[in-house]
Amino acid sequence: MSNIFKKMGRVTVVAACATAAIAAATTEASAAWWQFSNAPGGISSCDGYTLCVYEHTDFNGWYGFGSGDGALKLATSGDRLNNKISSIVNNSSQTYCFFDGNNYDGAKFQVGFGRIFPNLNTAGFGDRIGSWRPGKC
């Protein structure tokens, strides 16, 4: 009878580990998603509750959009927008802190929810963004 309990104990541990792994993967995937595109941008390309970043001023060129509470390091994601973002639309419901460093360091630029920046050069932050994360700076 003790062998049965030992086997049941192993099964329970394996099941618990599998459940935890699935929960972690689901949480990670649902926490944030980001997509990048080379389709024509424009302010109308940023719909819903998303944060959108654009390669050029006035919401043109390559752009990225996403939502959730995730942070993003552009250099490590291999993205061509690293240090090339020149305009931002924040249709999300949260504030984001942008950094000129690739590891959430360096100069900071805060973008509140519902804010639009057609030309980051006027704020001295054009073509300088290397990473961002949700929350105030």
Q: What is the pLDDT of residue 5?
A: 47
What is the side-by-side strand order in the sheet with 87-90?
A: 32-37, 60-68, 51-56, 87-90, 116-117
Domain membership flag for residue 10: no
Residue 61 is part of which domain span? 33-134
Domain membership flag for residue 6: no
Q: What is the pLDDT of residue 45?
A: 80
* Number of structural domains found in the chain: 1
SS3 content of the chain, % helix, strand, coil (to 5): 30, 30, 40
Domain membership flag for residue 17: no
Q: What is the pLDDT of residue 110?
A: 96
> For position 47, which CATH number holds?
2.60.20.10
Q: Reduced to 3 states, what is the DSSP secondary structure of residue 90? A: strand
Q: What is the pLDDT of residue 122?
A: 94
Domain membership flag for residue 78: yes
- Alpha helix stretches (DSSP H) within the chain: 2-31
Domain membership flag for residue 117: yes
Q: What is the pLDDT of residue 19?
A: 34
The residues of the chain scoring below 50 in pLDDT are 5, 7-31
Quick: pLDDT tens for 88-110. 999 888 999 999 998 999 999 99
